[in-house]
Structure formats: C-alpha cells, structure tokens
Chain A
Amino acid sequence: MTTGQLILNGIAAFLTLCIFSFLYKDNPFYKFAERLVAGVATGYWTILLYHTNFTDKVIEPIFINGQYHYIIPAVLGIMMWTRFSRKWSWISRYPIAFYIGIGSGVSITVYLYTYLFKQLQATISTPLTLDLAGLNVLIIVIAVLSALIYFFFSSAHKGIFNVASRFGIYVIMIGFGAGFGLTVMGRVALLVQRIIFLRDYIVALFGG
C-alpha cells in the first residue's frame, strides 16, 4: 500500500468508525460523518443530474440535435420553478399532475405483466399429481388462494373466510421469515466485508 493509499484508506476507516459510533449513541463524530456524507451525496447528485438530465435531455436534443419536441418536457420542468413564487406556485401543480399521471399509466402494463400474469401463469403451469411434486403444487395453489383471501377487503373475515385468511397470513409470515433470514445473511456479509477492510488497514499500518 502506498502512502497515498494509506492516507485515503485512513480517511475511509475513520469515517467507518464514526458511523459505527452511532451504535453507542448519537455523538459529534457521527454528526460529522453524517453531514459530510449527506453533503457530498447532494453535490454529487446535483452534478450527475446536470449531466444525465439537463445536458442529455435539454441542451443536446434541443440545441444540438434540433429535436424540438423536447421543449415540451423542458417547459414542464421550468413550470416547477414557479414554486418559488407565492403568487404563481399554482402553475407547478400541472407538471406534477402530468408526471404522476404518466408514471401511473405507464406502470399499469408493467405491473399487470410482472405481478399478475407472470404469477398466474406460474401458479397454473404444473399439473396436480399423486406424488411429492403434485403435493408441492397443491400447497402453492392453496397458499396463493388463502393469501388472496387475506387481501380481500370487501367482506369481514368471518367463518370459513376467517379460516382461509388466517391460513393466508401464516403463509405470508412464513414467506417473510424466509426473506428476513436471507436478507440478514446479506447484511452480515456486508458487515464482515467492512470489518475485513478495517483489519487490512490496521495490518497495513502496523504490520502483521
């Protein structure tokens, strides 16, 4: 490790420890690291947006490529700036409405495809047979139906409906448990990675 790398890694190790110090309690070191990272992130994001949105989607298309239809979203963007005026801030509601409307509309097809049709297709793709694979399919079908019943809001959960919805929530919780364990393992891996970084830095600093 060169001297330059040693200094840079030293800063990284110091900031890592500052963030870890939050585990004890809120303190000036954590405050320093938190504000530094928030400030750097905001600055970085601003420049990134300038290049990936303003340059690519306003300057280049309109002034270089002559794609004048890009003026429409540019004007909508400028309308957002009216928020700074108490008198004209109502104008900013139009681009917001446009943005939310377009976003919701475009996502309908994607949502229906990924969250409905793909799942439906997968649920009814394997036949029910008198073996373990068939039992697996049966469990999946019953679990999906029960979970759907749990999310049925139009009627009270009473009688058989209550039994099915309770089974549905158990199924959902089993799924959550598996997801929880999987993600915790991922987080532990991240922690181990950071501890290895600190160990390597100490070894490089003092030898070992």
Chain B
Amino acid sequence: MNHIDWFPRKLGIISLVLLVITWGGVLAQAPKDVLSADSLGAPAPAPPTNVRVIDKPNDAGHGLIIRWDLSADDTSGLKNVDRYEVLRSDAPDGEFISRGIVFRGVNEYEDVDDMKPTASSPNPNYMAEGSTWFYKVVALSNQQVYSEPSEIVVGTTRENLFHWGKLPILIAVIIFTAYLLNFIISAKKGKKLYIRPLAGIDAVDDAIGRATEMGKPILFILGLGTAADIATIAGFTILSRVAKKTAEYQTRVLVPVQDPVVLAVAQETVRTAYLEAGRPDQYNSDNIFYVTAMQFPYVAAVNSIMLREKPATNFYMGLFYAESLLLAETGNIAGSIQISGTDQIAQLPFFVAATDFTLIGEELYAASAYLSQEPVQLGTLKAQDYTKAIIMIIIILGAIAITGKWTFIRDIITIHL
C-alpha cells in the first residue's frame, strides 16, 4: 500500500505551504496603525465634510444612513483617496469602532444590525429601536494614510410603521381583494362562474376507476412543500376529491408524506372525505403515513412503495424539486397511470415528459377550484383571471410607453425594497 501511504505526507506538505501563504495573507490584511503624513512622507487626503446621519427609511428601526461630501482629494485635488471608513460610537467621547468601508467616489454607508442579542449570543453592535449613535468618517489614501476625521454627528434609529417602497404591492392586493370579494359574493348568491375544462382533471375520475377495476391502490404524493405552501394546499383539495371517490369505490389511497404538519392535514383531509362519502368506517389513518423529512431518503422509500404496491395510479400534486423525475420514472416502470401538477417551473418539464397528464402551474390551483366548485375557490380563480387581464393591459401599455421613452408606467410598478 506504499502508493497510498505517501499521500498523507504530500498532503501535509501542501497544507503547510497553504498555511504559510494564508498566514502571510492575514498579516498583509491585518489592520495597520494610523499612519501620518510624516511617517511615510506621503500626504494625507483631505477629510470628508458635511457628514449627516438619517434614519434608514422603511425599516423596523435597526438602521441609519450616513452621508457625506467627498474629500477634496477624491475626484480632484491630490486624487489620492482610496476608500472611506465609517466609525461609530455610543458616546461622543467613547471609543469609535469601524463599521464599514466604501470605495472612493461613494458618499453613503448604510449601518444596519438587527441581530438581537441573547444570553447565548451577545451582540454589542445591535442597533435597538430608538438607540442613538455617534459617527465620524475618515478618508484613507492609496498609500494607507488616514485623513483627519470628520466632525462627529449623531443619529437615532426609528421604527417605521409603513414600508412606502412596497406601496404598489398593497394597491395590487387591494384590487385583487376587491375582485375576490365581488366574485365570491356572486358565487355564493348562486351565479354560475364558468371555468374552462382541463385535460388533467377529466383524467382524475378515469384514473380512480382504473384503480378500482384493477383492485390496486392509488398513490397520492403531496411533494416536499410545507402545509402552508400554496401548491400543497391545492394538493389537499385534489386529495380530498380523490379520497372521496376512493371511499365510494372502496379503493385504497396511500399518502406517504415528508412533513409532520402535512401528515396531520392530509389525515384530516382524507378522514373528512371518507365522512362525506358516508364511509367513515373505511378510513384507515395508517394509509397516510410519515416517511422521512429528507428529500432523497423520501424518494428512495416512495420508489420502493411504487414497486412493491404497484399502484394503478400515481398522483403528484404539490411542491416538487429534484425528486420529480426520479418518482415519475419509477412510476412508469411500475406501469401506473400518472397525473402530476406543480407550480415549480424547473420541475414541470420532467412531469410533462414522464407523466400522462400534467397540470401546469396555475392549472393546479384551477383544478382545485374546478373539482371543489366551492364559491371561495371559484371566486379566487375568477379574481386571478381579471388580475391577469390588468397585467396584460399594463404590459401592452408599458411596452408602448417605454418605446416612446416614457418611463412612468415602469416607475409605478417598481418596488423599492
């Protein structure tokens, strides 16, 4: 094994060389003493002037913005400014510590620290709401010579109740909600809301019938999302419909899940569906079971369920990641009919290629409304359609406006975080 044993020695030598290089680098980067013009013979740059501190707008009170006028030697004069260093203290005569560095030509620094200290992780730099801080700014030349510090200025953090940069989002939510309420009220009053048929939906009932005829179970996979993800919520609605049908036909539905809360919701969904179908005695909570929370172990376990149980139909409805193709291909090997639906754009190509029917993106939500025919869901879908119509109008007008060099439409929809 000599050809193997020399390897650690070589590795040790390489590690030592790397260590020396790293140490040298650290020494080169170590903070240097403030050098005066005399010590190097190089001139110090003029200090930045007119330093002012303002509260960081649209935040929760953990930040301040420091602005200054550039040093006279930044873009003119000696032109020897390399960067500016912002120093902070909690008292005008206290110790000033460096908070950040910006390059020449930049006259603003945002000082933010919202990491609240705890007993186990203290944070002396934490900027509490309403805390007062003192700042000064120094310029540093390209020969590492500091300028005189600027005058000391003071600023106090302030909590902002409203994030004005997100105003367009609020307006969009208000418009959408207005549509939503209007359509929900209309649907509850009995108005028929039309939704065009979806190919994947018509296949759902056929697939359940096939499983019944074959005497094999149905496998329903809710993906890797949490119970709060929109795609998973849509998956629950489709699961409800499938479970109700399987209760009527006395077909088993297996639901392996990877999240404890999803497990709880899925069990509730199936139990309610069996109750509605008039067969609460048929409900078996062991058919909706937890596998594991990690992605690929979950896939390995579900794949083996597919090959051992040989389900007649596999449903993939929810949030999927890299496991989509692994699952769908195994389902193909097992000879199952497969119906998929997700809003994950990166995974849709795999479902389109490997499953028999795919609900693309928003079709998953539409399917959920189509199947349930609930006024709230139908109203939501209608509201989405009308919002889409507004979006199309904005795109057409925006494209025309920007071509005519008018930026007002683009500016209106720009979010400033």
Query: Could you list which residues of chain A lie within 8 angstroms of chain B, going by C-beta atoms?
Result: 1-2, 6, 19, 22, 25-26, 30-31, 33-35, 37-38, 40-42, 44-45, 60-61, 64-65, 80, 83, 92-93, 96, 99-100, 102-104, 107-109, 111-113, 116-118, 120-121, 123-129, 137, 141, 144-145, 148-149, 151-157, 172-173, 175-177, 179-180, 183, 187, 204, 207
Contacts and interface: CB of A to CB of B under 8 A. Distances in A.
B361 A151 contact: yes
A48 B228 CA distance: 21
A179 B349 contact: yes
Interface size of B as a range = 35 or more
Given A117-B168, A124-B399, A145-B396, A180 B7 contact: no
7 contacts: A34-B300, A45-B292, A113-B166, A117-B169, A153-B195, A176-B349, A179-B348
B173 A103 contact: no
Contacts of A152: 385, 388-389
B12 interface: no
B301 interface: yes
Contacts of B346: 179, 183
B173 A120 contact: no
Given A80-B261, A99-B227, A100-B227, 19 more contacts: A2-B8, A26-B308, A33-B300, A34-B303, A37-B297, A38-B297, A41-B298, A104-B233, A109-B166, A111-B230, A112-B173, A124-B395, A141-B399, A144-B395, A154-B196, A155-B194, A156-B196, A179-B349, A183-B346
Contacts of A26: 304, 307-308
A60 B169 contact: no
Given A65-B118, A80-B264, A120 B398 contact: yes
A45 B95 CA distance: 45
B48 to A, nearest CB: 35
Contact of A113 (B169, B226, B405): B169
Interface of B: 3-4, 7-8, 118-120, 166, 168-169, 172-173, 193-196, 226-230, 233, 260-261, 264-265, 268, 291-294, 296-298, 300-301, 303-304, 307-308, 325, 345-346, 348-350, 352-353, 360-363, 366, 381-382, 385-386, 388-389, 391-392, 394-396, 398-399, 401-405, 409-410, 413-415, 417
A120 B345 contact: no
Contacts of B265: 96, 100
Contact of A124 (B196, B226, B402): B402
Complex A-B, nearest 6 residue pairs according to Cβ-Cβ distance, in ascending order: A103-B228, A124-B398, A180-B349, A41-B297, A176-B349, A41-B294
Contacts of A107: 228-230
Contacts of A148: 388, 391-392
B195 A112 contact: no
A129 B3 CA distance: 66
A151 B417 CA distance: 29
A120 B3 contact: no
A148 to B, nearest CB: 5
A202 B350 CA distance: 34
B363 A113 contact: no
Contacts of A173: 352
Contacts of A123: 395, 398-399
**Which of the listed residues B294, B307, B349, B350 has the most CB atoms from chain A within 10 Å of its own CB?**
B349
A2 B1 CA distance: 9
Contact of B304 (A1, A34, A145, A204): A34
Contacts of B352: 173, 176
Contacts of A22: 303
B196 A120 contact: no
A164 B308 CA distance: 45
Contacts of B349: 176-177, 179-180, 183
B31 to A, nearest CB: 33
**Which of the listed residues A31, A103, A173 has the most CB atoms from chain B within 10 Å of its own CB?**
A103
Given A179-B346, A204-B4, A120 B395 contact: yes
Contacts of A45: 292-294
Nearest to A144: B395
Given A45-B292, A152-B385, A60 B119 contact: yes
A128 B297 CA distance: 50
Contact of B382 (A19, A37, A154): A154
Contacts of B173: 108, 112
Nearest to A180: B349
A204 B294 CA distance: 31
Contacts of A25: 307
Contact of B233 (A100, A118, A129): A100
